[in-house]
């Protein structure tokens, strides 16, 4: 079988020519308005805050808890990450998880083509796990209904598809051992000393043994 030939081109720079921008501004399509975001997320945040407040004190080192903020698939680029919003709310992202969802409002193309009885396709997005004081989630739930639209961080609220408390069912995998004392692995979002100490005390309060080594 004959060997493939690789050709070398000389003076390739002479083939270059300048490309001028089209001059047409790129407009970002936003599925939700600020008003939409407030009306959609306010009851969900109230529910999240209530569920977090009901957690045992021993399960919340330094009175901190974690919730999931789901981004709309249109805002996965790094430049759209709601950094200022989280900073304003005193929430710290500690991890994320990819998801496939069908957003309430899709992309511009999906919205334009959707007809009665039709369902838009699922899209890839992420759940961002945010950590904060329980009071931070209470405050977010309290202020969002009347948060001024002119506030700069409100521009980032439209990027959020959902906010929710992550129930234990989503965190646990099926028990496959029939042992009376099975060995389980637990993954923590953070390894700060106070998190480990708080987790150790909580596990001990449940009558379980913990190996932090």
Query: Looking at residue 65, what is its pLDDT?
Result: 94
Q: Residue 101: which of 130, 143, 129, 72 has the closest Cα?
A: 72
Question: Which has the higher per-residue pLDDT, 16 or 107?
Answer: 16
Residue with tokens 């990819």: 98
Question: pLDDT tens, 57-80?
Answer: 999 999 999 999 999 999 999 999
Residues 89 and 156: their CA atoms lie apart, in Å, by 12
Average pLDDT of every residue of the chain: 86
Confidence class for position 20, pLDDT limits 50, 70, 90: confident
Question: pLDDT tens, 131-174?
Answer: 999 999 999 999 998 888 777 788 899 999 999 999 888 888 88
Residue with tokens 């899209």: 123
**193-200 average pLDDT score:** 92
Query: Looking at residue 71, what is its pLDDT?
Result: 96
The SS3 assignment for 71 reads: strand
Mutual angle of helices 134-143 and 34-53, in 10-degree steps: 150
- Above 70 in pLDDT, residue 109? no
The DSSP secondary structure of 117-183, one letter per residue, reads T--PPPEEEEEEEEEEEHHHHHHHHHHGGG--TTSTTHHHHTTEEEEE---HHHH--------SS--
- Above 50 in pLDDT, residue 8? yes
- Cβ 129 vs Cβ 92: under 8 Å: no
- Cβ 82 vs Cβ 159: under 8 Å: yes
- Above 50 in pLDDT, residue 113? no
């Amino acid at each position: 079988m004959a060997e493939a030939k690789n050709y070398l081109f000389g003076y390739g720079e002479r083939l270059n020519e300048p490309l001028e921008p089209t001059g047409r501004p790129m407009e970002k399509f936003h599925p939700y308005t600020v008003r939409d975001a407030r009306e959609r997320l306010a009851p969900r945040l109230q529910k999240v805050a209530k569920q977090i407040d009901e957690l045992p004190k021993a399960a919340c080192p330094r009175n901190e808890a974690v919730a999931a903020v789901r981004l709309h698939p249109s805002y996965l680029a790094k430049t759209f990450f709601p950094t200022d919003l989280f900073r304003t709310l005193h929430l710290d992202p500690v991890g994320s998880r990819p998801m496939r969802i069908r957003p309430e409002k899709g992309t511009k193309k999906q919205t334009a083509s959707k007809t009665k009885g039709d369902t838009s396709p699922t899209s890839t997005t992420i759940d961002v796990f945010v950590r904060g004081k329980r009071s931070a989630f209470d405050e977010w739930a309290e202020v969002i209904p009347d948060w001024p639209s002119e506030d700069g961080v409100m521009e980032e609220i439209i990027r959020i598809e959902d906010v929710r408390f992550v129930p234990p069912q989503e965190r646990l995998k099926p028990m496959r051992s029939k042992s009376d004392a099975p060995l389980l692995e637990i993954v923590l979002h953070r390894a700060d000393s106070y998190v480990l100490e708080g987790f150790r005390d909580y596990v001990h309060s449940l009558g379980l043994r913990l190996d932090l080594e």
